[in-house]
Amino acid sequence: MTDASSTPAIPVTVHRSDYRAPDWSIPDIALDFALGIDATKVGAVLSVVRDIDAPVPLLLRGDGLTPAAVRVDGEVWNDWRMEGSDLIVDLGERVAATVEIDTVIDPASNTQLSGLYASGGLLCTQCEAEGFRRITFHPDRPDVLSRYKVRMQGDKAAFPILLSNGNCIDQGEAGSDHWALWEDPWPKPSYLFALVAGDLVVNRDSFTTMSGREVELGIWVRDGDVDRTGHAMQALKDSMAWDERVYGREYDLDLFNIVAVSDFNMGAMENKGLNIFNTRYILADPDTATDVDYDGVEGVVAHEYFHNWSGNRVTCRDWFQLSLKEGFTVFRDQSFSADMGSPAVKRIEDVRLLRAAQFPEDAGPLAHPIRPDSFQEISNFYTATIYNKGAEIIRMMATMVGPERFRKGTDLYFDRHDGEAATCEDFVKAIEDGAGIDLGQFRRWYEQAGTPRLKLSLAEEGGHWSLDIVQTVPPTPGQPEKQPMMMPLRLAAFATDGSGDALADTLVMVTGATQRIALGTFAARPALSVNRGFSAPIIVDFERGPGELAWLAAHDDDPFARYEALQQLMLDTLVAAVSGKAGDNRAVIDAVGQTLEGAASDPAFVAEAVLLPSEAFIGDQMVTVDPDAIRRERLALQATIGAALETKWRAVLAGKAPPATDLSRKAKGGRRLRGVALAYLAATGADDASALAFRIFSDADGMTERQAALATLAHGDSDERIAALDIFYQRYRDNPLVLDKWFQVQAWSLRADTLDAVKELAQHPDFTLANPNRVRSLYGALTGNQAAFHQADGEGYRLIADLVIALDPKNPQTAAKMIPPLGRWKRFDDARAAMMRAELERILARPGLSRDVTEQASKSLL
């Protein structure tokens, strides 16, 4: 089997409306693995039961497999055939049978990292969404739930540790081999199966659940990494306690294992009782991980743990329901992280991510509802829409009913559907019944793609002010007409001169295409604070002058709204400048200066608030994105603010950095603000800026300061830049996760020659297409660097298309993820658009393309 041939590019579209319950269920599965890096024998025993009256053959999916033997009820069986890569077993009139199938797979040649694969001598699995069929023949659909018994045997020296789901119920030795027998008492879909074998060491701990059960916890990593697992372990215990406290959900096995692997397509995977993680979301110590990395570890550990209930105990009926588990679980991990740190800052980060990753998706050719109607390759639907917009939809339900009623709804959901494969509709119905709310119109969020826009204006009549709302939902592929959405809008209104009534925080339900909301009596136009806390995932169009925005940035009692006001002020200033309207920067400078006054009490919030909007987000405000003008004007404004407030930035930097081992909110915020201050100061071109950055780089006692200083230097043209990059490389060349940062800061650089640098880095001996983290650290960073990726000669597009073409035969999932940036061509000028399209067409012209890349590239052209 070669890897490329196992994913034929026959674009078959699967439709949600075609769902049919399975013909056969499989209450029990026994798997027997004879482990080997380049040949693993898999014996599968499926006890199958027919669920429909008429005789019907058993359809078992396969991907790159050949059956070595088929037996039914103990007898050699010849009534089977291959249909494409699937196995059809004719069981005649049988209503139940024991079907045994032997296969042999080659983990070493599995470069897709789906199924059973080798990662640096380790054997591990990744089965979501359709990887189990690369291990053995199986229906491999999430509504077929089975109890698994897994026996594995392998060389003691090569595979000293043998892990699978559930509990280890027996083990023994056989010559130079040893074996283990694992049993998972909880029925689960095949995508939650996992197995790991290799040389690992463990960080052990335990957790006592709310009913007093002792759970053994283990985080398994390579020898030498165990000292970096403390934060992940703490996050795990905090998550277990939080899910008990907030959702009443207790862990349900005596053992919870996590394994960290270096080669992984995604962040992590929630396999029952045996989570498998990308090392980047487990390993952290102050010397090698930034505060952002620490928060990432905490959030992802929580996310995967929370899946034990939202995903595993209640799973998905089919993959169209993916947001049922992902949207809800993201909402849960966001709430957890908010509780563990600063809710306001967490909300700002989440909204920033939504705007950076999901809004563009919703506005482009790959837009889809959080519950899609069709797909060709499900791997392409692990999107910001399913995850992050999905979380926003759950958040709106929670906002509309409040925490107590929401909890009644989720309790009912878990009660009703425990042990089942459920649908998004089941969730909505449970909230409707449990929380007592009519979600009729709200269901449109599951059906309609596109980011709703509210156009707002204020109207006055005899001193009574009201807010007029016009709602539109833009057309998206396949959905030309849209109905208005139902959404909770939090607002407040202030009399800026202190006269009249202030309207305190209010939740209004927006349901119509047009709607009027009374605000109260004000002597003059009130300052409106709207979509507070980002209560709805929408775009608000509301003309407000710099004075009003500055007032809100200083006075709004909702921190998120203060952040939004300052961001809007910055955005307006930047968009005007990019459009050639020379603006007055005074209001922005004053507002930033004013915000900095709060630095001592809440440095984390202030750091977020004074950060200029990203180049991409500025582009999103424009009819046609002009990457060069945006780069120029953003740097200019950064320099202006840098210079005008230079003493303040210097004051921030003059203080001592909090010790890197201090991970308190305040310390993290302090470091964040120092990074922002350094960037502003460097933007001014101050003579001593590079020397100062280099000193911070050299004196840093941890990675947060070190990386921030390195990133600042990487933008410039100083000798210190070259020195720092070299020192960093020499120091961390043996640490892959830190080396990723070295690639990333260079690909993120604002220098004019960044594309050339990226080309050179792709030839670096430490660069490899075999490791997804490394690919993302270079090319993912490049597509996040708007002016570099969109360089006028089209070289950035060429680089990404070359990458997709080179990577697709090895790892189609990761290759396909690089395509969406090329699909944004409608947003750019004709010359760029033509070059972007040409690259998509060049990709599509390649023979033997995967289904993943075919779907993304062809849809991106529409």
Q: Which residues are catalytic?
A: 304
Q: For the CB of residue 463, give the shortest distance to ligand PHE in the complex, in Å.
A: 52
Q: Which is nearer to ligand PHE, 128 or 243 (CB)?
A: 128
Cβ 108 vs Cβ 136: under 8 Å: no
Cβ 16 vs Cβ 83: under 8 Å: no
List the single partner that 510 binds among Zn ion, ligand PHE, none, CB under 5 to 8 Å by kind.
none
Would you count residue 134 as binding ligand PHE (CB under 6 A)? no
Buried b (16+ CB within 10 A) or exposed e, 479-502: beebebbbbbbbbbbbbbeeebeb
List the single partner that 285 binds among Zn ion, ligand PHE, none, CB under 5 to 8 Å by kind.
none
List the single partner that 410 binds among Zn ion, ligand PHE, none, CB under 5 to 8 Å by kind.
none
Task: Concatenate the DSSP letters of all residues of 811-858 into one string.
Answer: -HHHHHTTSGGGGGGGGB-HHHHHHHHHHHHHHHTSTT--HHHHHHHH
List the single partner that 126 binds among Zn ion, ligand PHE, none, CB under 5 to 8 Å by kind.
ligand PHE
Q: Which is nearer to Zn ion, 329 or 476 (CB)?
A: 329
Q: For the CB of residue 335, give the shortest distance to ligand PHE in the complex, in Å.
A: 16
Q: Which of 118, 268, 653, 799 binds ligand PHE (CB under 6 A)?
A: 268
Q: Which is nearer to ligand PHE, 329 or 783 (CB)?
A: 329
Residues whose CB falls within 8 Å of the CB of residue 619, separated by 6 or more in sequence, listed in order: 625, 626, 627, 630, 786, 827
Task: Concatenate the DSSP letters of all residues of 692-717 into one string.
Answer: HHHHHHHH-SSHHHHHHHHHHHHHS-
Would you count residue 270 as binding ligand PHE (CB under 6 A)? yes
Nearest to 182 by CA among 205, 208, 161, 201: 161
826: number of Cβ within 10 Å: 13
Would you count residue 63 as binding ligand PHE (CB under 6 A)? no
Stretch 198-237 residues interacting with Zn ion (CB under 5 A):
none
Strand intervals (E) in 409-562: 421-422, 453-461, 464-472, 487-494, 503-510, 514-521, 527-530, 539-541
Q: Which is nearer to ligand PHE, 366 or 536 (CB)?
A: 366
Stretch 707-746 residues interacting with ligand PHE (CB under 6 A):
none
Q: For the CB of residue 821, give the shortest distance to ligand PHE in the complex, in Å.
A: 21
What is the total residue count of the chain? 862
As given in the structure block, the two tokens for residue 299 are 């959030």
List the single partner that 269 binds among ligand PHE, Zn ion, none, CB under 5 to 8 Å by kind.
ligand PHE
Q: Which is nearer to ligand PHE, 681 or 819 (CB)?
A: 819
Angle of the 586-596 helix axis to the 627-644 helix axis, nearest 10: 60
- Report DSSP state, residue 195: E
Stretch 299-338 residues interacting with Zn ion (CB under 5 A):
326, 329
Q: Which is nearer to ligand PHE, 314 or 606 (CB)?
A: 314
Among 260-268, 402-410, 625-633, 785-793, the segment contacting ligand PHE (CB under 6 A): 260-268
Q: For the CB of residue 562, give the shortest distance to Zn ion in the complex, in Å.
A: 32
Would you count residue 298 as binding ligand PHE (CB under 6 A)? no
List the single partner that 609 binds among ligand PHE, Zn ion, none, CB under 5 to 8 Å by kind.
none
For residue 536, give the 3-state DSSP assignment.
coil
Q: For the CB of residue 666, give the shortest distance to ligand PHE in the complex, in Å.
A: 30
CA atoms within 13 A on the CB side of 723: 11
Q: For the CB of residue 495, give the shortest distance to ligand PHE in the complex, in Å.
A: 46
Q: For the CB of residue 254, give the shortest distance to Zn ion in the complex, in Å.
A: 24
Among 41-49, 265-273, 285-293, 408-416, the segment contacting ligand PHE (CB under 6 A): 265-273
Q: Which is nearer to ligand PHE, 132 or 697 (CB)?
A: 132
Stretch 343-382 residues interacting with ligand PHE (CB under 6 A):
382
Nearest to 510 by CA among 531, 533, 496, 524: 531
Place of tokens 């209010």: 506
Would you count residue 249 as binding ligand PHE (CB under 6 A)? no
**Between 381 and 420, how does the x/- string for binding to ligand PHE read (CB under 6 A)?**
-x--------------------------------------
As given in the structure block, the two tokens for residue 662 are 């201090």
Q: Which is nearer to ligand PHE, 271 or 529 (CB)?
A: 271
24: number of Cβ within 10 Å: 23
Stretch 510-569 residues interacting with ligand PHE (CB under 6 A):
none
As given in the structure block, the two tokens for residue 428 are 């909505």
Place of tokens 């992940």: 232
Strand intervals (E) in 156-308: 161-164, 167-174, 177-189, 195-198, 201-208, 214-221, 255-261, 268-269, 274-278
As given in the structure block, the two tokens for residue 843 are 């990709």
Cβ 194 vs Cβ 166: under 8 Å: no
Stretch 175-234 residues interacting with ligand PHE (CB under 6 A):
none
Q: Which of 25, 103, 119, 126 binds ligand PHE (CB under 6 A)?
A: 126
Q: For the CB of residue 264, give the shortest distance to ligand PHE in the complex, in Å.
A: 7
Q: Which is nearer to ligand PHE, 114 or 529 (CB)?
A: 114
Would you count residue 128 as binding ligand PHE (CB under 6 A)? yes
Q: Which is nearer to ligand PHE, 143 or 326 (CB)?
A: 326
Q: Which of 304, 361, 558, 633 binds ligand PHE (CB under 6 A)?
A: 304
Buried b (16+ CB within 10 A) or exposed e, 752-784: eebbebbeebbeeeebebebbbbbbbbbbbbbb
Q: Which is nearer to ligand PHE, 107 or 675 (CB)?
A: 107
Peptide bond into 689 cis (omega under 30): no
List the single partner that 63 binds among ligand PHE, Zn ion, none, CB under 5 to 8 Å by kind.
none
Q: For the CB of residue 366, give the shortest distance to Zn ion in the complex, in Å.
A: 20
Q: For the CB of residue 315, give the shortest distance to Zn ion in the complex, in Å.
A: 12
Q: Taking CB positions, which residue lies at the least distance from ligand PHE?
A: 266
Q: Which is nearer to ligand PHE, 242 or 680 (CB)?
A: 242
Would you count residue 269 as binding ligand PHE (CB under 6 A)? yes
As a whole number of angstroms, the distance between CA 609 and CA 494 comes to 21
Nearest to 419 by CA among 270, 312, 305: 312
CA atoms within 13 A on the CB side of 737: 20
Q: For the CB of residue 121, give the shortest distance to ligand PHE in the complex, in Å.
A: 21
As a whole number of angstroms, the distance between CA 132 and CA 252 comes to 24
Q: Which of 188, 303, 706, 721 binds ligand PHE (CB under 6 A)?
A: 303
- Report DSSP state, residue 560: H
In angstroms, what CA-CA distances link 637 with 57, 207, 551, 713? Answer: 68, 51, 20, 19
Q: How many residues lie near Zn ion (CB under 5 A)?
A: 2
Tell me the residue type at 779: Y
Q: Which of 130, 326, 349, 855 binds ligand PHE (CB under 6 A)?
A: 326
Interacting residues with Zn ion (CB under 5 A): 326, 329
Interacting residues with ligand PHE (CB under 6 A): 126, 128-129, 265-266, 268-270, 303-304, 326, 382
